[in-house]
Copies of this chain bind each other. A is one copy, B any other.
Amino acid sequence: MTQLPPEPLVPNNTLITKTPEEGRALAITLARHSIHAMQKEVEVLVAGRPQYARDPMGLIAASHVVAVEFATIAAANNYWR
């Protein structure tokens, strides 16, 4: 089994981003890195990809997590107001 290279849970160690677009990208990254913290084997991750990304319920469940992460990031950035 191939292990993922080490990566931080929070890239750049901050929730502050310049724009909503970057905040949204960070939300996706946080969710992805959570999953990597629980499953580091590349082959398992690669095998799982079609299982959720070709299943509408998998995509909806994943987008739900992104929405929750984004709520935190948006609050951290005072909604980029």
Binding site for B on A (CB under 8 A): 8-10, 13-16, 19-21, 23-25, 28, 30-31, 34-35, 37-39, 44, 48-49, 51-72, 74-76, 79-81
Q: In terms of DSSP, what is the predominant structure of the interface of chain A?
A: helix
Quickly give the copy total for this chain: 6
How many angstroms between the C-alpha atoms of A37 and B44 in the bound complex?
Answer: 21
Which B residues are CB-close (under 8 A) to A69? 67, 70
Given A15-B79, A31-B63, 4 more A-B residue pairs with CB atoms under 8 Å apart are: A8-B21, A52-B57, A60-B62, A76-B81
A52 in contact with B63 given A16-B81, A20-B13, A28-B34 (CB within 8 Å): no
Which B residues are CB-close (under 8 A) to A72? 67, 70-71, 74-75, 79
